[in-house]
Amino acid sequence: MAALFLRWLVAFLLLALTYNPTSWNYLRWAMSGWDSQTPMVVLAGLVLFTGYVIYLRATLRSIGPFGMALVTALVGALLWVLVDWKVLRLDNPGLNTWIGLLALSFILGVGLAWSILRRRLSGQADIDDVDE
């Protein structure tokens, strides 16, 4: 369970560092600092891009587009239930952004940790896990 939490947390940080409703995010910093800090903006953008490539590639390889759609549908249905039960309200744009970041990070976290989860649930190793 710690493996899934850690992968989700890193995915959440990656997404939140890229954009969030506060002023502390890469996109706002890049737009305001492009003229004066171009090399740092490019470097930070490449670091974030590398993180996205790792997460998206691993997610697509482990659960594929159908799995991503299924996890998205499950998260969407959960949010729908929470809104229907009036646990969540969707009239706050900032909160909606954080909810979106949580949902996307959950999808990426599940995708990256799927091999570990599958092995624990089924007892079967993936072909890529032979060295372990």
pLDDT in tens, 73-102: 999 999 999 999 999 999 999 999 999 999
Is the CB of residue 107 less than 8 Å from the CB of residue 67?
A: no
DSSP annotation of 37 reads -
Distance in angstroms (rounded) separating the CA atoms of residues 110 and 49: 19
Q: How far is CA 42 from CA 11, 16, 31, 74, 75, in A?
A: 20, 18, 11, 36, 33
Per-chain mean pLDDT for the chain: 91
- Determine which helix (DSSP H) or strand (DSSP E) holds 122, and give its type and residue range: helix 93-122
The encoded tokens of residue 19 equal 């954009």
pLDDT at 119 over 90: no
Q: Quick one: average pLDDT of 53-59?
A: 94
Q: Which residues contact 108 (CB under 8 A, 6 or more apart)?
A: 7, 8, 11, 14, 15, 55, 56, 59
pLDDT at 129 over 90: no
Binning pLDDT at 50, 70 and 90, where does residue 123 land? confident
Amino acid (1-letter code) at residue 126: D
Binning pLDDT at 50, 70 and 90, where does residue 124 land? confident
Give the pTM: 0.84
In the chain, where the domains are located: 2-119
Binning pLDDT at 50, 70 and 90, where does residue 115 land? confident
Write out the DSSP string of 79-110. HHHHHHTTS--S--HHHHHHHHHHHHHHHHHH
Q: Looking at residue 88, what is its pLDDT?
A: 93
Nearest to 26 by CA among 5, 51, 48: 48
